[in-house]
């Protein structure tokens, strides 16, 4: 088995995990857990799991590197991503949220060109434009068809793209377990911010919602670990396109669990985003060979 094949399997496992995680979180909020409380519980349980993993690996849970500029910028973007993505999962159809999230690699590529000065050829600029047309087809920014809640997914996607871009400048010697602890500490903080704006006293989730959120945390840590392994195995340009399996998983779960029926425009928009993203990654691979 080649490294590229193993990397693709790890990425597929990660995307299946993240798709299930999103569905479980949405199911928990449907059981009455507020978006803020659900996010806090999810973050705390996952952070504890990663802290145990860090101890098992013999690395400290806390490191001064968390306060370095690169990780502070990464943390700020992750707060934005986690905050708005949690709200989007709670108040927007799962299929819509997942489709818009697929545009994140295109935004990362745009940021790499603008912020890091990476060269982007005209074909990849055209692919980015096609991808953003796909996003517009989903959110439909017209007075008659505008989906206001979809803006939550767009803001979450921008936050995650900024996080991924900032990761390129983060210290390489920070252990994956430490990044996991930091990442889910950010999730917990984002949940606290959401709770501040929800109004009224916070209520503990009912037993069903609490169990769903614990399962969300377990699946989330598995997905986070798998994607870390994927990005360290094989060529990024070969492995990265398999992240789009998350959308397929989300569409199946949205249909099966939440009786969602994405319309033709949403499906067309999702197809444009995925196609443009895969094309951009293939062009990147060719440019490096």
User: Averaging pLDDT over each range in 72-81, 138-147, 267-276, which range is the top one?
Assistant: 72-81
pLDDT at 47: 93
pLDDT exceeds cutoff 90 at 240: no
Helix ranges (DSSP H) in 116-175: 122-139, 150-167
| Domain tally, the chain | 1
pLDDT exceeds cutoff 70 at 23: yes
Compute the distance between CA of residue 48 and CA of residue 186 in angstroms, rounded to an integer: 13
Q: What is the pLDDT of residues 82-112, one digit of tens each?
A: 889 888 888 888 888 888 887 877 787 777 7
Average pLDDT of 152-168? 82
With tokens 């860090």, the residue in question is 54
Lowest mean pLDDT among 82-96, 110-124, 151-165: 110-124
Q: What is the pLDDT of residues 214-238, one digit of tens each?
A: 999 999 899 888 887 776 676 665 6
Domain span at residue 83 reads 3-288
Residues 6+ away with beta carbon under 8 Å from 207: none
Q: What is the pLDDT of residues 184-212, one digit of tens each?
A: 898 999 899 888 888 767 788 899 999 99
Q: Which pTM was predicted? A: 0.79
Q: How confident is the model at residue 147 (pLDDT cuts 50, 70, 90)?
A: low
Compute the distance between CA of residue 85 and CA of residue 155 in angstroms, rounded to an integer: 8
Compute the distance between CA of residue 136 and CA of residue 149 in angstroms, rounded to an integer: 13
In a 13 Å sphere around the CA of 28, the CA atoms on its Cβ side amount to: 32
């Amino acid at each position: 088995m080649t490294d590229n094949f193993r990397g693709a399997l790890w990425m597929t496992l990660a995307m299946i995990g993240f798709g299930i995680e999103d569905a479980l979180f949405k199911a928990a909020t449907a059981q009455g857990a507020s978006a803020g409380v659900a996010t806090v519980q999810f973050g705390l349980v996952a952070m504890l799991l990663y802290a145990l993993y860090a101890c098992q690996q013999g690395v400290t849970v806390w490191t001064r590197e968390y306060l370095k500029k690169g990780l502070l910028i990464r943390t700020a973007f992750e707060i934005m991503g986690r905050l708005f993505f949690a709200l989007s999962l709670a108040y927007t159809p799962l299929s819509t949220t997942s489709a818009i999230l697929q545009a994140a690699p295109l935004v990362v590529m745009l940021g790499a060109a603008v912020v890091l000065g990476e060269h982007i050829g005209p074909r990849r600029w055209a692919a980015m434009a096609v991808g953003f047309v796909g996003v517009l087809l989903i959110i439909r920014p017209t007075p008659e068809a505008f989906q206001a809640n979809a803006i939550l997914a767009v803001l979450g996607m921008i936050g995650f793209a900024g996080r991924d871009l900032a990761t390129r400048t983060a210290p390489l010697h920070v252990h994956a377990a430490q990044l996991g602890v930091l990442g889910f500490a950010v999730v917990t903080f984002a949940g606290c911010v959401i709770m501040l704006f929800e109004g009224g006293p916070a209520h503990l989730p009912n037993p069903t919602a609490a169990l769903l959120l614990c399962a969300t945390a377990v699946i989330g840590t598995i997905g986070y670990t798998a994607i870390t392994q994927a990005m360290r195995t094989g060529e990024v340009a070969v492995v990265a396109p398999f992240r789009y399996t998350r959308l397929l998983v989300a569409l199946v779960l949205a249909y099966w669990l939440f009786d969602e029926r994405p319309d033709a425009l949403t499906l067309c928009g999702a197809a444009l985003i995925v196609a443009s993203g895969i094309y951009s990654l293939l062009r990147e691979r060719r440019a490096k060979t």
